[in-house]
């Protein structure tokens, strides 16, 4: 199968890129230029009417929603988590959906509060403060889970959940760029910090770093992206 990944640097598409690289699948990329709102272009909206990144074009049609793409790749190609009939499948799925439905949306609301609560700076700050507590609680839950060493979180073979979590941790450390991030400390979640170092050592991460300009420690000590193409914001 040949895939087309519609991406923007340092966006959720990086989770899918990690998976494609890990599985050694043939694919090409199509930049969605956020500096000119490329995600609202008519051609892109024909692929994803929600105007969000990423989209993965497949031989059976376009896919959107990061969690859905990751599970589809896992079920289609294997190697990103327990198979459908594996006894560990249920535990893997509930935490995968936790990352996609709880952690990731909270980050999006914190990064773009105006989309959810309007332009009032005081209301935006109140929303961000509330979300910070929620995100820290979510990360603490994931850290306790990782410390139990399930095979699908921090195991010898990286999973879709591993890729999702380390990217979320990266964004916690960097965004929003116009607000304090003193609330976030990767050291407070040592099992997740270990996961960040583990994923950084993989060839798929080296490919991601080169493609999106993410620096030498994109998850454990991230810096802002300097992509050869496109804009992260």
Note the pLDDT tens digit of each residue in 50-94. 999 999 999 999 999 999 999 999 999 999 999 999 999 999 999
Output the pLDDT for position 207: 98
> Is 106 domain-assigned?
yes
CATH number for the domain spanning 191: value is 1.20.1050.10
89-123 pLDDT, tens per residue? 999 999 999 999 999 999 999 999 999 999 999 99
End-to-end CA distance of the chain: 31
> Is 174 domain-assigned?
yes
> Is 152 domain-assigned?
yes
- Tell me how crowded residue 203 is: count the other CB atoms within 10 A of its CB: 10
Chain centre to alpha carbon of residue 207: 16
Q: Which domain holds residue 95?
A: 89-202
> Is 142 domain-assigned?
yes
> Is 125 domain-assigned?
yes
Q: What is the pTM of this model?
A: 0.97
Q: E strands along the chain, which residues?
A: 3-7, 27-31, 55-58, 61-64
> Is 34 domain-assigned?
no
Phi-psi region of 213 (alpha: psi -120 to 50; beta: other; left: phi over 0): left
Task: Judge contact between 144 and 159, C-beta under 8 A.
Answer: no
Environment class of residue 91 by beta-carbon count within 10 Å: exposed (0-12), middle (13-18) or buried (19+)? middle
> Is 44 domain-assigned?
no
Domains in the chain, number = 1
């Amino acid at each position: 199968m040949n895939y087309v990944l519609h991406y923007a640097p340092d966006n959720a598409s990086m989770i899918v890129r990690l998976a494609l690289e890990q599985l050694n699948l043939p694919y090409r990329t199509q930049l969605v230029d956020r500096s000119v709102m490329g995600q609202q272009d008519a051609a892109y909206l024909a692929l994803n009417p929600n105007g969000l990144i990423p989209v993965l074009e497949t031989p059976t049609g376009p896919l959107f929603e990061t969690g859905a793409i990751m599970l589809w790749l896992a079920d289609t190609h294997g190697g990103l988590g327990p198979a459908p009939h594996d006894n560990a499948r249920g535990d893997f799925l509930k935490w995968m959906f936790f990352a996609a439905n709880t952690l990731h949306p909270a980050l999006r609301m914190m990064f773009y509060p105006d989309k959810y609560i309007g332009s009032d700076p005081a209301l935006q700050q109140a929303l961000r403060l509330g979300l910070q507590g929620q995100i820290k609680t979510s990360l603490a839950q994931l850290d306790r889970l990782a410390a139990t060493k399930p095979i699908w979180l921090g195991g010898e073979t990286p999973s879709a959940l591993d890729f999702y979590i380390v990217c979320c941790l990266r964004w916690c450390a960097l965004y929003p760029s116009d607000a304090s991030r003193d609330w976030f400390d990767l050291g407070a979640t040592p099992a997740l910090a270990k996961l960040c170092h583990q994923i950084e050592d993989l060839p798929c991460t080296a490919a991601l770093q080169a493609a999106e300009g993410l620096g030498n420690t994109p998850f454990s000590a991230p810096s802002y992206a300097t992509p050869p193409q496109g804009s992260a914001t």
